[in-house]
A and B are shown apart, each in its own frame.
Chain A
Amino acid sequence: MAAIVAFILFGLGILVLVLRRDLVIKLLALGLVNAASILFLVSIGDRPGARAPIQGPGEMGILADPLPQALVLSAIVVNFAILALALVFVMILVERYHSTDSTRIEQEMAREIDEEETPCL
């Protein structure tokens, strides 16, 4: 079930990434996409009734799989770093263009230096 939810969230994230022009919302959508892939990893490591994977003396029973947990922790840290850095760059763009609208920023940049429109020899 969680795996299906993860794939739905993933699709939703891409949809928002494509449809919304606001850079901050785009980054939130990217966060959703990343969170969906992490949820998928959590879902595959799920064992109902499992204990934490620390074996004490004389303890028996089902243990949770530690590998997906390690993967999830690493992925969360990486995605946090990516989102933080991307937001810093969005802030730099906003300071210059006073907008978070991606189309408007692109138009402003094209107006500043338009090398492509120079006729070729």
Chain B
Amino acid sequence: MPLILLPLLRFVFAILSISFARARKPFTIVSHLVDAALLSQLVLTLGRGIPELITVGGTPAGIGISMIGDQIGLTFAVLAWVLSVAVSAYTWRDQLRPYFFLLLNLLIGACYALSFTTDLFNAYLLFELSTLVSFLLVGYQRRPRQIWASLHYLVLSSLGMSIFLLGIGVVYAHCGCLDLAVLKTMLRASPGEPWMLLAGSLLVAGIAVKAGVFIFSLWLPSAHARAMPAVSALLSGLVIKMGVVGLFRLADVFPIHLTLIVLGAITGILGIIYAFNTHDIKKLLAFHTLSQIGYMLIGFGAATEVARLGALSYVVAHGLFKSLLFLTIGEAAARAGGSHLNTLIENRQNIPRGTRIALFIGVLGIIGLPLLAGFDAKAILEDGLPTMALRLIVILVSVGTVASFAKLSPVLFSRSTCRTDRSRILAYAWLGGGIILFWPLSLLLVSPAISLHALSAPHIVEALAVIAVGGSLYLLIRKKRFQLPSEIFRLETSPLIILVGFFLVYALMALGQ
């Protein structure tokens, strides 16, 4: 029952938040408490060894819409709850229109449902709901650039979902069902069918548009960089993870492990190159979202249990530090008068100390300082990678991450006398606390043996070496600017690249069979 109640109650709170706008704050507190209770119940059920499973309408599996509270689903749902609390605290005193909170609750509800669903068509509808809500949230302030970014996002997402729908059609034509658990049994009985290639590549290409995979999600840098800080934090920390959970679930059914590894490597490396070359810090964070998705795809593509757990840990770690970074940079940009690096450095005395400390913790988390979230999750992920080549790609992306974040150092070390609003400090402390206490919290997800191995001396030395090499790399090439093609992010070009991406996925699936 909690599987149904979690999204459903959010939709109820969404309606209440717009019907009784003055009682928004009590409703927000109640909604978070109710969600926490329902999630705890699901975690306890999973702890007993049998995940909660429900098929709506009581029809046989394969016909009704199924939802499962397994490890993957619960990880994403708990992340959704943590980030929704942070965003509520951040926007506590903001004078926002009631319809912002309606959209916020709808988005969180859609994310809960997407985390648990194992039905392809239900996933399609929820993806579309999250697209529509995110589209309105990105364009909330009605600034031309936001509207443009929002439109770009909507066109590409809708195209991606049409590709996904074609995939659903192919699956239904051959299997007569859309439930992933039933499909898995069917496909195991008759592997290597030619239609499977077409169905798998259509479904993967469709979801990849939503999941922040570089050649597919070309809408992401402008949408995440132009939206309000609270919206960017949710989009980057949570909404694109819904695409990732879709890819994780498909990896259980279709032979897409090689595809995930190659897409992960492309996403990681290209994301870092673009991030290093940009000086708009919000855009830098958006490109980093792409590069970090690369880790998660490589982890799941590696198909070992430890790498899978590492990828799941990284999903949570990334959600925490990327949301914190977007919230702090958003506030810093508002105080400094812009998110360009020059503006931030020139007006750094206007950035409150609390915001700067939180930003510092976020940066330390993402660059993988030992004992913090990024380090723990990456160490577990690396432990599970079967080949040296994959580890090298992860290390390469980590070095690039340090090099591109090094440009923020003048902003981090400065003096200021202004104060951060209390509700914002609460949001920063909530996310920052998660980053600092990530190791003990990760014991809920991974076994103590795996978790302890992540803290071993070789990992700590490697992390410190990566920080040193990344810092040196930044000093070496900081004055160079590379001409990278920006045409790929245009509305005219990106649909064509998505089409090329589909053929790439098809070829990779054929290779990996």
Q: Which residues of A contact B (CB under 8 A)?
A: 6-7, 10, 14, 17-18, 21, 23, 26-27, 30, 33-34, 36-38, 40-41, 43-44, 67-68, 71, 74-75, 78-79, 81-82, 85-86, 89-90, 92-93, 96-97, 102-103, 105-106, 109, 112-113, 115-116, 118-121
Contacts and interface: CB of A to CB of B under 8 A. Distances in A.
Q: How large is the interface on B (under 10, 10 to 19, 20 to 34, 35 or more residues)?
A: 35 or more
Shortest beta-carbon contacts, A-B, top 9:
A37-B165, A44-B173, A37-B162, A78-B128, A120-B279, A40-B169, A17-B495, A115-B340, A18-B496
Interface string B492-506: 110110010000000
Contact of B144 (A14, A33, A93): A93
Contact of A89 (B128, B139, B492): B139
B259 interface: no
Interface of B: 121, 124-125, 128, 131-132, 135-136, 139, 142, 144-145, 147-148, 150-151, 154-155, 158-159, 162-163, 165-166, 168-169, 172-173, 279-280, 338-342, 345, 410, 481, 490-493, 495-496, 499
Contacts of B496: 14, 18
Contacts of A75: 124, 165
Given A85-B136, A89-B147, A103-B492, 20 more contacts: A10-B166, A30-B159, A36-B162, A37-B162, A37-B169, A38-B165, A40-B165, A41-B168, A41-B172, A68-B172, A78-B125, A79-B158, A86-B151, A90-B151, A96-B144, A109-B144, A115-B280, A115-B340, A118-B340, A121-B342
Nearest to B152: A102
Contacts of B169: 37, 40-41, 43-44, 68
A96 B136 CA distance: 19
A29 to B, nearest CB: 9
A44 B145 contact: no
Contact of B151 (A33, A41, A89): A89
Contact of B147 (A36, A44, A93): A93
B12 to A, nearest CB: 21
Contact of A44 (B150, B172, B280): B172
30 contacts: A26-B491, A30-B155, A30-B158, A30-B159, A36-B162, A37-B163, A37-B165, A40-B165, A40-B166, A41-B165, A41-B168, A41-B172, A43-B169, A74-B121, A78-B128, A85-B132, A85-B136, A89-B151, A92-B142, A93-B147, A96-B144, A103-B492, A106-B148, A109-B148, A115-B280, A115-B340, A118-B340, A118-B342, A120-B279, A120-B481
Given A18-B495, A102-B492, A121-B342, A81 B132 contact: yes
Given A82-B132, A109-B145, A116 B280 contact: yes
B135 A85 contact: yes
A17 B155 CA distance: 9
Contacts of A33: 158-159, 162
A27 B125 CA distance: 20
Nearest to A116: B280
